Structure 1
C-alpha cells in the first residue's frame, strides 16, 4: 500500500472501498513493518484511521456549525490525533498541566484551551497562568478562593450538575453545583472581583437520550440571567461531552444535533451573542480506533450441570470455550470493567463472524489477575491458538487508560488514512 511519511508521521494510505480487515491482515503478515516496532510478529497493535476523524469533524461542522469543538484530550491524547485536530482548527478541553503542555507543544495557542477541571492542583493552575490559559471551570467557593490567589485574571465558567440517568458514566456525584448554589457562588465571585463568563454542564458519557441536552440547555437559560443581573458578561455556554462516537450507537449523532439545534435556537439564538462550545472526545475518535490481538491459548471446559442451568440453555453445548488474548482490561479494554457492553465482540481477522458456527465462550486477558475478563459467557466461533482477532471502537479511553501490568507492553499504534485526505495530511504534517 502507498504511504505518506514525514519525520513525525508514517501513514498507510488505502483506496476507497478497502476494508479495515484487509488492512489489518496486511499489517499482520507484512514482515517489513519496522515503525512502530513490535518485538514479535504475534504482538497486538492499534490501528487509527485518521480519515474517520476527519469524517466525524465534517459531520459535526455540518450538523452543529455554530458549536465550537474543544476536543476532550483525556479521551485520546495521541499526539498524531491532537496535531490533526489542531490542523482542522479545533480547540481543546484539558484537565491537567501535562495535557495543557502537550497541546501547546504540539502547536495550539493558549486561547484554544479550556482548563475544564473544576478542582485544579495549584501548581497546574499556576502553569496555566504562565502559559496564558485563562478559560477554566469551577463549581465551589473554595476553588474561587484558589483562583483569586493564583490566577485572578482567569475567565471562569460555572459548572452545574445535570446528569442523564441513561448515561453509562455519570459525573454529578463528583462535579457540578446544584441550581440553588448558582447565585451564592456568583455573588462570591463578584465579591472577589473575578470574571465569570458563562455556564457549563456535562450530561454524562455514553448517553442514549438526546432530549437531555434540550432539558439542560433550557435549565441554564435563567442562570445566565442571574449572572447578568450581578454584572457579569455572560457570553459562553459549554455543552460538555456525551456525544455518540461508536460505529453503531444507540442513538445517532444527527438526533443529538437536531435536539441541540432546536434548543439553542429557542434559548440561545445567534442574536443573544452567547458563544456556544462543546467538549466532544469519543465522538471524534472512538470509531477511528481498532485493536488487533492474538489468541495465545485456549481450553475447553465441561460446564457443571448446576452452572449450566444458569449459563447455557437446554440443547446448547455442555462445554464452554475459553480463550486467552495478549491484550486485556489492563492494556486497553478497561471499559469492560464498568460497562459489559462497552465494546462489541471481537471478530476473527481472516473472516467475518457470520461465516462460522458460534460456541459458548469466555475471553480472558493475558495477566494473572482473575478480573482480567474481556467477555464472559458470550457466543463466538471456535478460535485457534495463534489466530488474530479484531476489536472495533477502540479510539476512545483505551490506550490512554492502559498500563503494562504483569509486563505486557502497551500495543503500538499504526496510522492509516484514505488517499482522499492526503492533502489534509500534507497541510498538517508537512514533509521536511
Structure 2
C-alpha cells in the first residue's frame, strides 16, 4: 500500500492497508489532527536495540513520551522506565506499572523532599544524588533507597569531590548500588562518552574497595534515532574491555529517541494556503510549534519532510512536480515555522500531511485512543473529542490511556464501543 506520493507505508511509517483506510476515513470526517502509534514498530525497535547493544539494557525517559500504550509496551518488553518529576511517577502509578520492586530510577538531579517520599510510597526505590543536600533529603524521606551517584558530565570530572560524596552516602547508611552518567551522546561525541566510561570504572574500583557493592552503571542517553556500524562496534568494544563479564556489572543507556521516535506519526490538515503566485509554496497546518511539534522541533533533524496523505475528499492529481515549500503552524507567525527548504508537490486546502518520527510527545491534548481493527496500530485524537468515548459510569482521569478504547470498523464506518 502506498501513500499519495508513492512512498511505501510499511517501509516509512509502519502502516498497513487497514490503518491507511482509517486515516483517510478520519481525514474525510474530521478537521482536527490526530496521531497514529504503531506498536509493531516499537517491538521491532526494541529487538533492533538488543541486536546492536546486547550488553545494554534500554531505558526510556517517561518525560520524552508518556502515552499510556507506549509505556505499557516498553515496560512489558524489558525496557526500564526512568522518571524525573512527580507527575511522571503519577503517570506510571495510574497505569499500574509501579510496585515495591519497580525497576524505575528517579533521575532528577535536584528533587523536592516530598517528591522523594512520594516516589518511595509508590514503590520507587532507585534514586540518584549528586550533592550533600540530595543525600540529606534521601536519608530523611527514603532512607532504605538504593542510591546511584550521578556524574555531571558537562564538567571536568572532580574525583576528589565524587569520592567524598560516596563516603558521605555510605556513612549516612544509604545503599550505594550504581553510577549514573548525566550525558547525551551523538555519534560524533563518542570519545567524550568513552572518557566518562573510564572514569566510571575508576570510581567503581575505588568504591568497591571501600565496601560499596556497586553493580549498576547507566551510560546516559544514546541520542540517535539510528546508529552506524562503526559507532556500535566501537562502543561495544569499549564496554567489553572496561566492564568485563567477571565484574558482574549491569549496564544501561537511555534509548528513548531510538525506541519511540519511529512509532508515532502525526496527521495534520492544511488549513490555509498562501495565495502568492510564486515558486515558493507556503502551507499552514493545524498543528504548530506549541502543539505536537514542541518537543520534536527541539531535536535536530527529528522532523523530516512529510508525506502527502491525500485530500479529505480523496482528490487525485499529478504529484510528480515538486516545489520549494515552507510549512507554518496555524498562527502563520514567523516564529511558528515548522519546516522550510523542503520539496513537496502542489497541495490544496484540506489536504493532509503525515509527519513520521514524532515520538517526542508529552501533550495532554491527545488523550483518547482507538484501535485499528485487526492491527497493532492505535489512533490518538484530540481532547475535545473525548466525548465520543466518555461513559458517565466510567469517568476519564487525567491520564492518557484511561478512556475506554473504541474500535472503528471501516467496513461499515461505524464506531463500536467496548466496556
Of the three residues 229, 237, 242, the one matched with 1:262 is 237
Deviation at 1:191, TM superposition (A): 3.0
Deviation at 1:207, TM superposition (A): 5.0
- Residues 125 and 145, structure 2, Cα contact 8 Å, conserved in 1: yes
Of the three residues 327, 337, 350, the one matched with 1:363 is 327
Of the three residues 62, 69, 81, the one matched with 2:58 is 69
- 1:89 aligns with 78
1:59-138, aligned counterparts within 5 Å?
A: 59-108=48-97, 109=99, 110-138=101-129
SS at match of 2:152: coil
SS at match of 1:276: strand
Deviation at 1:258, TM superposition (A): 2.6
Equivalent pairs counted in the alignment come to 366
Which range moved further: 354-363 or 14-23? Answer: 14-23
Q: Distance in 2 between matches of 1:141 and 1:177?
A: 17
- Residues 243 and 256, structure 1, Cα contact 8 Å, conserved in 2: no
Deviation track 1:330-378 (CA, whole Å, cap 9, x = no partner) reads: 1111246545633111122249xx9533323321101365421112344
Q: Distance in 1 between matches of 2:62 and 2:194?
A: 25
Deviation at 1:286, TM superposition (A): 0.5
Deviation at 1:272, TM superposition (A): 0.3
1:209/1:417 CA distance change after superposition, 3 Å: farther
- 1:425 aligns with none
Normalising by structure 2, we get a TM-score of 0.76
- Residues 38 and 376, structure 2, Cα contact 8 Å, conserved in 1: no
1:11-410, aligned counterparts within 5 Å?
A: 20=15, 25-30=20-25, 41-108=30-97, 109=99, 110-162=101-153, 172=154, 178-204=158-184, 208-245=188-225, 249=226, 251-252=227-228, 254-301=229-276, 319-335=279-295, 337-338=297-298, 341-350=301-310, 355-367=319-331, 370-395=334-359, 397-398=360-361, 400=362, 402=363, 410=366
- 1:9 aligns with none
1:327/1:186 CA distance change after superposition, 3 Å: same
1:140/1:239 CA distance change after superposition, 3 Å: same
SS at match of 2:63: helix
SS at match of 1:322: strand
Q: Distance in 2 between matches of 1:361 and 1:39?
A: 24
1:350/1:211 CA distance change after superposition, 3 Å: farther
Q: Distance in 1 between matches of 2:320 and 2:28?
A: 31
1:386/1:420 CA distance change after superposition, 3 Å: closer
1:85/1:410 CA distance change after superposition, 3 Å: closer
Deviation at 1:182, TM superposition (A): 0.9
SS at match of 2:30: coil
Deviation track 1:243-267 (CA, whole Å, cap 9, x = no partner) reads: 422xxx4x43x54443332122111
Unaligned runs of 5+ in 1: 2-13, 32-37, 163-171, 303-317, 404-408, 422-428
SS at match of 1:30: helix
1:86/1:331 CA distance change after superposition, 3 Å: same
Normalising by structure 1, we get a TM-score of 0.74
Structure number with higher strand proportion: 2
Q: Distance in 2 between matches of 1:226 and 1:18?
A: 48
- Residues 196 and 233, structure 1, Cα contact 8 Å, conserved in 2: yes
Q: Distance in 1 between matches of 2:18 and 2:185?
A: 30
SS at match of 2:212: coil
- 2:381 aligns with none
Q: Distance in 2 between matches of 1:366 and 1:18?
A: 24
Unaligned runs of 5+ in 2: 2-8, 312-317, 378-404, 406-417
1:243/1:24 CA distance change after superposition, 3 Å: same
Deviation at 1:153, TM superposition (A): 1.4
1:179/1:161 CA distance change after superposition, 3 Å: farther
Deviation at 1:143, TM superposition (A): 0.8
Q: Distance in 2 between matches of 1:211 and 1:418?
A: 46
- Residues 14 and 38, structure 2, Cα contact 8 Å, conserved in 1: no
